[in-house]
Every structure is written in structure tokens, then in C-alpha cells.
Amino acid sequence: MKIVAVVSAKGGVGKTTLSANLADALAQTGQRVLAIDLDPQNMLRLHFGMPVQDVTGHARATLAGESWITSIWARRRALVMPFGGLNDADLAVFEQHLATHPNWLKRQLDQLGLSENDIVIIDTPPGPSCYMRQALSCAHVCLVMTLADPASYAALPLMENLIRTYCERRPDYLGQALVINQVDMARQLSKDVVQVLRDQLGEGAIGVIHEDQAVPEALANDRTIVDHSPRSQAGEDIRRCASWLQQHLLGKATSPQ
Ligand SMILES: Nc1ncnc2c1ncn2[C@@H]1O[C@H](COP(=O)(O)OP(=O)(O)O)[C@@H](O)[C@H]1O
Ligand SMILES: [Mg+2]
């Protein structure tokens, strides 16, 4: 099992969009992949057309002492595990449980019986939280998401510190890549931020996803972009990220996009 944490210091940068679409893009190549929603907003499932009123998920299963397996949905080719709906009081109990059980996520994943080559993608809420700590504590790879704007750029050191604390000392940690989302190369600011980050981190550590109306349109249709508009710019960008991830994690050669 290879674990990928999708993280960011700031909210609204495209983590849930990337998590859902990476899972679907990887699944389209025949890869076995499980996407887990670790954000109480419980939005990941909407990209896979799950009913809004359905509140099942791993958080409820954890509180009820049930196995996580009952919370896994097979959606198209990917496996998806929603967070589930919790009221405020239950959420506080759940978060306390995570704070006092730092290896909760890894233990749960180990019990799912996934094989060596299966990929787990974890969507997280922004900034430091008990959810992000759980994800970072077991991730083999982190995808750090940012927008091509000054505020997101300024927030990047916060993520670097968290990764240093929770990931870089582990021998099984493979590294991180930065994914710059909603890039519009017609805007000078976008161009400048992408260039500065390429200069700092090197070409191989950067993924770019362009701003594309196909992204909100796909969600409005309860689908992923790679399913709804596979030939869109964002669809192509996400498939390229999926190939990179597969090669990086499994050393697998993927077919050219
Ligand atoms: N590449 C993109 N082009 C256009 N809109 C995007 C793109 N990526 C994300 N969005 C939109 O940005 C908003 C935030 O995305 P989301 O994935 O929910 O971010 P996060 O999970 O980081 O809060 C959503 O409305 C989404 O449709
Ligand atoms: Mg989100």
C-alpha cells in the first residue's frame, strides 16, 4: 500500500478536486486505488455522485466501533471512503480520539488488507489539524497544493515545516511534490509564481493544473473531470499528475497521455 496525502496550508486551493480526480485517473489505468476523505466537510464523495443525504463514512464507523470496510463505496473504477456526517458533539469526540491515537489512520489502513501496489489517496482539511497530522504521519508521498498567488506562496513554509516534522524523519517517506492549481498563463502573476517555484524546486517537483471551467462543470454534474471532460486542459493536467505519481510510487511505466 502506498499512501499519498494531498495537503495545503490554505483552503480552497483544489485539494478535494485533485484527490477525487487523481483517484479516478489512476483507476482508469487499471490501478487499484482508494480515496479517503479526511475532511469533516465530507465533500470528496460529491465528485463521485454519491447522494448528498447519505451520511455514512469512516468517522461514524469509528465512533460506532465498526470496521472501515463497511464505509467503502465502489464508484466507477475507484474505491471511495467518505468522512461521513457527524454532529458537533460527535465531531469533538472523534477529534479527541484522533488526538489521543496518533497512529489511528495507519492502523485502520493496515486492517483493510490492501496489497503492496494499491494506492491510497487522502484528502485533508487545510492547515495544521488532527486530520493533517494523521495523514502526514503515514504518507509515503505528499502532494502540496497551492494557487499561483502571493498569499498561497507565502503560506508554503508552514507546510514545509509540517512535512519536516511528520514525514522527513521516516525511512519510508519518499518525498513531496508541489501542485500549482488554477494556473492561467495569460496572467503575468501566474507566470511569475510558476517560474519562481520552478527555479526554487526544480522541474521534476512541480505539477501544474490550469484554471479550467470544466472543473466546476464536472462537479455540477456529480462527476470527476477525467470522467466528464477527459480532453479538457485540467483533465490532461490531472492525468499527467497521475502518471507522475504512479511512476514515483510504483516505478511503473505508464502509457503516454
Ligand atoms: N483547475 C481549476 N479550475 C477552475 N476551478 C477550480 C480548479 N480547481 C479547483 N477549482 C474550484 O475551486 C474550488 C475549491 O476547490 P476544492 O477542491 O474544493 O479546494 P479545497 O479542497 O482545497 O478546499 C471549487 O469550487 C473548485 O471547483
Ligand atoms: Mg477540500
Per-residue pLDDT of the chain (257 residues; tens, 9 = 90+): 999 999 999 999 999 999 999 999 999 999 999 999 999 999 999 999 998 888 899 999 999 999 888 899 987 789 999 999 999 999 999 999 999 999 999 999 999 999 999 999 999 999 999 999 999 999 999 999 999 988 888 899 999 999 999 999 999 999 999 999 999 989 998 898 888 888 888 777 789 999 999 999 999 999 999 999 999 999 999 999 999 999 888 775 444 33
Residue 2: per-residue pLDDT: 96
Q: Where are the domains of the chain?
A: 2-250
Residue 257: per-residue pLDDT: 35
DSSP 69: G
Shortest-distance ligand to the CA of residue 218 = 1
Shortest-distance ligand to the CA of residue 207 = 1
CA 183 to centroid of ligand 2, rounded, Å? 18
Residue 206: per-residue pLDDT: 82
Residue whose CA is at the smallest distance from ligand 1 atom 19: 14
CA 123 to centroid of ligand 2, rounded, Å? 7
Residue 252: per-residue pLDDT: 57
CA 39 to centroid of ligand 2, rounded, Å? 7
Coil, strand or helix at 241: helix
**Distance between CA atoms of residues 219 and 216, nearest Å:** 5
Q: Which three cell numbers stand for residue 70?
A: 463497511
Testing ligand 1's pocket by substitution, the residue of 7, 13, 17 carrying the most ligand atoms inside 8 A of its CB is 17
**Distance between CA atoms of residues 175 and 205, nearest Å:** 9
CA 109 to centroid of ligand 1, rounded, Å? 27
Residue 193: per-residue pLDDT: 87
Residue whose CA is at the smallest distance from ligand 1 atom 13: 12
Residue 255: per-residue pLDDT: 40
| Choices 3.40.50.300, 1.10.3720.10, 3.40.1440.60, 3.40.50.150: CATH for 2-250 | 3.40.50.300
